[in-house]
A and B are shown apart, each in its own frame.
Chain A
Amino acid sequence: EPEVTQTPSHQVTQMGQEVILRCVPISNHLYFYWYRQILGQKVEFLVSFYNNEISEKSEIFDDQFSVERPDGSNFTLKIRSTKLEDSAMYFCASSDRRGGKTQYFGPGTRLLVL
């Protein structure tokens, strides 16, 4: 069964550093998402991406965040200058439809900002 993959599985960085989290969505999917989960809390939506542009973003997704689909397979989330409160599990998801269809989640990247 096709699956969403994410790299790295864990990342430790210093406050103020830039990080790039990578995702490979399922190959025929057109809608891509990033979510995050701070330890012990619920999963929160960050951003959705379709047709090479952001289609929706949450209040969390401020100017420090950006997303990109640099080629036909990868989907990246960049945090320009990490803060302590960016420490979380980041999940990528993809779907072949805007709504009303299963979103498939990757295994997550656990980011720790020191």
Chain B
Amino acid sequence: GIQVEQSPPDLILQEGANSTLRCNFSDSVNNLQWFHQNPWGQLINLFYIPSGTKQNGRLSATTVATERYSLLYISSSQTTDSGVYFCAVGDAGGTSYGKLTFGQGTILTVHP
């Protein structure tokens, strides 16, 4: 099946710093979603971005499908950005019924 690797595994920032999280995937995708898992365990949908670039406030994401990677940018980080960030992809292969394969996540800690 498709493989998803996220880097870095851990990231520690001071409030106000910028960061870039990376997601590499091993095959063509028809879905790519970035999630933030909050301290209560909820998965908050950040972006649906199988290709192209999107921005939402301090967050933006870019997926280069031909090179099989996606980047999540967080600018002017805040303590509330802390948590685990997951990348999840849907295999574009014909046998898939839309299941998402998740990466291991990046644990982000933002200190005040």
Contact = CB atoms under 8 A, between A and B. Distances in A.
Contacts of A58: 99
A42 B96 contact: no
Interface string A72-98: 000000000000000001010101011
Contacts, number: 72
Interface stretch (B18-26, B42-50, B55-63, B66-74): B42-50
Of the four ranges (under 10, 10 to 19, 20 to 34, 35 or more), the interface on chain B belongs to 20 to 34
Given A50-B97, A99-B30, A100-B50, 16 more contacts: A31-B98, A33-B98, A33-B99, A33-B100, A37-B41, A43-B102, A45-B101, A48-B99, A93-B100, A98-B97, A100-B30, A100-B90, A102-B45, A103-B33, A105-B35, A108-B42
Interface of B: 30-31, 33, 35, 40-43, 45, 48, 50, 86, 88, 90-92, 96-105
